[in-house]
Structure 1
């Protein structure tokens, strides 16, 4: 199984430890992992701002970098969803389709493809789980409270395999944190208020860390936590699953 590691640009620049943890975790689980050196932004920020017609360069570059792998895996649900739903290349349509059908967010890859049942990881802390909108409603990583269906969570299933970890869920388990990509720029006040509400529930649960499958949401919550001097920290799920 040849896996192409997709590390979104903001993770590469701001949270490289998440990329390293993802690489190490996939290697531990027996994957042949490669990191294409010429990968850049997937183009999601432009698309979110209404400029998807300018994305052809990003799309072509993505196809050039990732079309030869069996699977493409990334630790960011929103970026993975953007590629899955929007990647196109008029010069190489079959390659673009292959990528869209074989790109996975990390936790869904571990659950659905590798079917991981024993991670041999340890993280002796109380951890609050944040469900990101893109992962939950776009990729189907967990059930949605507004639908009367059996509950499930691929992220929780993985965290429950971690020795010593005590998992906590906020009362409003799948409420948006307010990040929303460019939403946090254009609607700053609303975005911050939503983030503060999320943080308050986790603090009420007296957690040590807040985790999730999307670094962008964690980045938003991290900024709010730091500004208020909270003892709670954020950590991406890849860092927990890779922790020994």
Structure 2
């Protein structure tokens, strides 16, 4: 476990708005015996440009990302949408061995804990609250965090499995657990009325299930829902899963 050299990728909005999530990710990986570095020259992965249809313009950003992370055995990030960008859309540049290495070895935090490290316990963590987990569209459908409701097959959820190992967590399930919260990147800017109503619907669904906290592996979704909750005066709170697994208790 400790022999693997990890490059920590902290996405732009986490760095700017939720730095505690990046710190929790670093601390959690180190608690688990990982050797972790943070490349200080890292910037955006290019996702905003790609989402806006300006993929060719993201070439320089993609190349800088590869330059920063190619030397690491694995790249881990607390953001499913950014990991999806690196894995599936880092194609504006020539697909050199370094690019392929980065694309094949970039992991979202929960899947790295569940699939690679196979973590069985978080003995330092306790979170005595009712938790509703929010499945972001990218992590669920592109990264395989769980089984989407539209598919047949046995149910599973990697993040809920991780949360169930934390003392005191009571997981509650909304009626529509994998419905989009309305953020959708640029969708929330181009369709603000629809996006806002979807966010309010998601919060209400979790509220009916009795959640004290909405938890997710994607801070972008949490940011959107927290804004919606503040506007309607909902008392529900929000946490990134890294914070809880690292030992946050409120």
TM-score by shorter chain over 0.5: yes
Which residue, out of 209, 230, 245, partners 1:205?
Answer: 209
Helix, strand or coil at the partner of 1:55:
helix
Larger CA deviation: 45-54 vs 198-207: 198-207
Which residue, out of 70, 88, 98, partners 1:85?
Answer: 88
Name the CA distance, whole Å, in 2 between partners of 1:56 and 1:49.
14
Tell me, yes or no, if the aligned pair for 1:4 and 1:33 is still in contact at 8 Å.
yes
Tell me, yes or no, if the aligned pair for 1:132 and 1:174 is still in contact at 8 Å.
yes
Helix, strand or coil at the partner of 2:135:
coil
Name the CA distance, whole Å, in 2 between partners of 1:223 and 1:197.
13
* Deviation for aligned residue 1:173: 1.1
Helix, strand or coil at the partner of 2:76:
strand
* Deviation for aligned residue 1:204: 1.4
Tell me, yes or no, if the aligned pair for 1:18 and 1:239 is still in contact at 8 Å.
yes
Let me know the Cα RMSD of the aligned residues.
Answer: 1.1
Alignment of 1:53-202 (within 5 A): 53-88=56-91, 90=93, 93-120=96-123, 121-202=125-206
Helix, strand or coil at the partner of 1:210:
strand
- Report Cα offsets for 1:140-169 as digits up to 9, x if no partner: 010011111110000010000000011111
Q: 5+ unaligned residues in a row in structure 1: which ranges?
A: none
Helix, strand or coil at the partner of 2:171:
strand
Which residue, out of 28, 32, 37, partners 1:29?
Answer: 32
Name the CA distance, whole Å, in 2 between partners of 1:100 and 1:230.
40
Cross-structure match for 2:246:
242
Name the CA distance, whole Å, in 2 between partners of 1:100 and 1:129.
27
Helix, strand or coil at the partner of 1:157:
helix
**Structure 1 residue runs of 4 or more that deviate by more than 6 Å after TM superposition:** none
How many residues align structurally? 244
Tell me, yes or no, if the aligned pair for 2:59 and 2:93 is still in contact at 8 Å.
no
Name the CA distance, whole Å, in 1 between partners of 2:92 and 2:33.
31
Tell me, yes or no, if the aligned pair for 2:5 and 2:36 is still in contact at 8 Å.
yes
Q: 5+ unaligned residues in a row in structure 2: which ranges?
A: none
Which residue, out of 27, 41, 66, partners 1:38?
Answer: 41
Which residue, out of 230, 237, 242, partners 1:233?
Answer: 237
| TM-score normalised according to structure 2 size | 0.95
Name the CA distance, whole Å, in 1 between partners of 2:134 and 2:112.
19
* Deviation for aligned residue 1:91: 5.8
| TM-score normalised according to structure 1 size | 0.98
